[in-house]
Amino acid sequence: MPNPLIGLHAVLGEIGIVAFVWVFVEMIKPSPKRLKRAQIAALIGVSFFIASWIVGGYYYVNDYGLLVKPLIKEGPEPWAHSVIMESKEHIFIFLPFISLFTYNILRHYGKSLKKDKNSHAKKSVLFLSAVIIIIGALMGLMGYLISSGLRTAMEASLR
């Protein structure tokens, strides 16, 4: 059975992504109620990205590096570690900081945003949410490729 921390890391990260999809939708046409919901969603997103960072990091340091990395590197798809995991573990660090920045724009420009009278702040939240969603989706895809790297390595070891 795979380590449950992998699943937890993925679920926490996916909730973070969904939270920013929610922020994006609320900010297409902001109103006082929508702004409030967007602020809550962004706070949820920040919290879940930080939680996913900690859980993923714990798994990476204590389990992945010792057991999974050597298997992938010996298998038929060593790039799954050397390119994908090496990139993923560092790109993930971007997410909590960009999401915290986005949350603070929602807070700081709240008064003008809820009246839909600040097109620059609104564009900023929409753009940054899109960046977060794109990077988040990329993290999911990279996670899938790393899992495939392990699976092919294990299949190869059985032959």
Partner 1 sequence: MKGTNIKSLSISTVSTLVATVLITIIGEFSETFKNFLKLFTGHHWVTKSVFMFILFFAIYFLLYRTDDNLDVWKESLIVGIVALIGVVVLIGFFFINYLLA
- By CB under 8 A, is residue 108 in contact with partner 1? yes
Contact by Cβ (8 Å): 102, 132: yes
- By CB under 8 A, is residue 116 in contact with partner 1? no
Among 22, 60, 77, 136, binds partner 1 (CB under 8 A): 60
- By CB under 8 A, is residue 137 in contact with partner 1? no
- By CB under 8 A, is residue 82 in contact with partner 1? yes
Q: Which residue has the tokens 């660090």?
A: 93
Q: Which two tokens stand for residue 107?
A: 């807070």
Amino acid identity at 86 = E
The span from the CA of 13 to the CA of 17, in Å, is 6
Transcribe 145-158 into DSSP letters: HHHHHHHHHHHHHH
The span from the CA of 125 to the CA of 132, in Å, is 10
> Considering only 1-9, 20-28, 122-130, 146-154, which stretch makes contact with partner 1 by CB under 8 A?
122-130
Contact by Cβ (8 Å): 87, 142: yes
> Considering only 11-19, 23-31, 37-45, 81-89, which stretch makes contact with partner 1 by CB under 8 A?
81-89
Cα–Cα nearest to 95, from 145, 140, 63, 37: 140
Smallest gap from Cβ 85 to partner 1, in A, equals 9
- By CB under 8 A, is residue 145 in contact with partner 1? no
For partner 1, the binding residues (CB under 8 A) are 53, 57, 60-61, 65, 78-79, 82-83, 86-87, 89-91, 93-94, 97-98, 100-101, 104-105, 107-109, 118, 120-121, 123-125, 127-128, 130-131, 134-135, 138
